[in-house]
Amino acid sequence: MTQESGKRNIRLKNQNVEYFRRISPRSRSVRITISLEGDMSVSASPSVNENRIEKFLAEKADWILRAIAKVKNRNVVVIKAPKGGLIRYGKETRALVLTRIAYFNSFHRFIYKNICIKNQKSRWGSCSKKGNLNFNYKIIFLPTHLSDYIIVHELCHLKELNHSPRFWSLVETILPDYRSLRSELYKTHIRFVRPLLKPGIFDFSGLSL
């Protein structure tokens, strides 16, 4: 029987799960992908029949259900991002950072050296031992309360270059609700949708502090 790509349904742990079966002639194994919306796709070669797919999914049921639940609890910021993002948005991000640092630093008047805007792959921001503050240009796309949290977080590292209780107490003096902000940021991913890509093909970026 010829295998075809298309939508399928399977019952996992008493839950109905829909997935897209993708035929991939070059695949050497069964691959499960969970999108940021919680949609699941399963890629396998044409030689892998439906019974083998369903058996494999049943074996991975716990992982699949946890992964779907986790991503559905995340916020996704959708951005139509043109090429040259850092060049295009770098100055705007720097202006934002300078303005908010001037405001928040009035609380403690920390001394810093340089402020750099970068295209970091895995971080929203960082603080060096030399007192340099680095921020990802992508914070310009976040809601103001989240970009403020990132800026305050790095600002406080100028005094406490760690994540000790002293550090969090310092953050709390500026942002009393930092816990809820930290939780919201953790759940937030920026989703870059590039118009030139084929429909359904996206770049994803999940960053941390």
pLDDT of residue 69: 85
Q: Are 154 and 125 in contact (CB under 8 A)?
A: yes
pLDDT of residue 133: 97
Q: Does residue 165 have a pLDDT over 60?
A: yes
Give the CA count within 13 Å in the CB-facing half-sphere of 173: 12
Q: What percent of the chain has pLDDT over 90?
A: 50
**203 band by pLDDT with thresholds 50, 70 and 90:** very low
Give 108's contacts (C-beta < 8 A, 6+ positions apart): 155, 159, 170, 173, 174
In whole angstroms, what is the distance from residue 74 CA to residue 6 CA? Answer: 26
pLDDT of residue 197: 34
String of DSSP letters for 152-166: HHHHHTTT--S-SHH
Q: What is the pLDDT of residues 95-143, one digit of tens each?
A: 999 999 999 999 899 999 999 999 887 899 999 999 999 999 999 988 8
Question: Is the model more confident about 74 or about 42?
Answer: 42
In whole angstroms, what is the distance from residue 81 CA to residue 68 CA? Answer: 26
pTM score, two decimals? 0.64
Domains defined for the chain, CATH in brackets: 6-73 (no CATH), 78-205 (3.30.2010.10)
Q: Residue 121's CB: how many other CB atoms inside 10 A?
A: 8
pLDDT of residue 148: 97
Q: Does residue 30 have a pLDDT over 70?
A: yes
pLDDT of residue 76: 65
Q: Does residue 208 have a pLDDT over 70?
A: no
Q: What is the pLDDT of residues 83-101, one digit of tens each?
A: 567 888 899 999 999 999 9
Scanning the structure block, which residue is given the tokens 């976040």?
142
Q: How many residues in total does the chain contain?
A: 209
Q: What is the pLDDT of residues 1-26, one digit of tens each?
A: 456 678 889 999 999 999 999 888 87
Scanning the structure block, which residue is given the tokens 């396998």?
44
In whole angstroms, what is the distance from residue 83 CA to residue 161 CA? Answer: 34
Q: Are 126 and 134 in contact (CB under 8 A)?
A: yes
Q: Name the most confidently modeled range: 42-46, 89-93, 187-191.
A: 89-93
- Lowest-confidence region among 26-30, 59-63, 168-172: 26-30
Q: Locate the DSSP E strands across the chain.
A: 6-12, 15-23, 31-34, 40-44, 75-79, 115-118, 125-127, 133-136, 188-192, 203-205
In whole angstroms, what is the distance from residue 81 CA to residue 78 CA? Answer: 9
The residues pairing with 77 across neighbouring beta strands, listed in sequence order, are 190
Instruction: Identify which of 173, 186, 191 has the alpha carbon closest to the alpha carbon of residue 124.
Output: 186
Q: Are 19 and 42 in contact (CB under 8 A)?
A: yes
Q: Does residue 209 have a pLDDT over 50?
A: yes
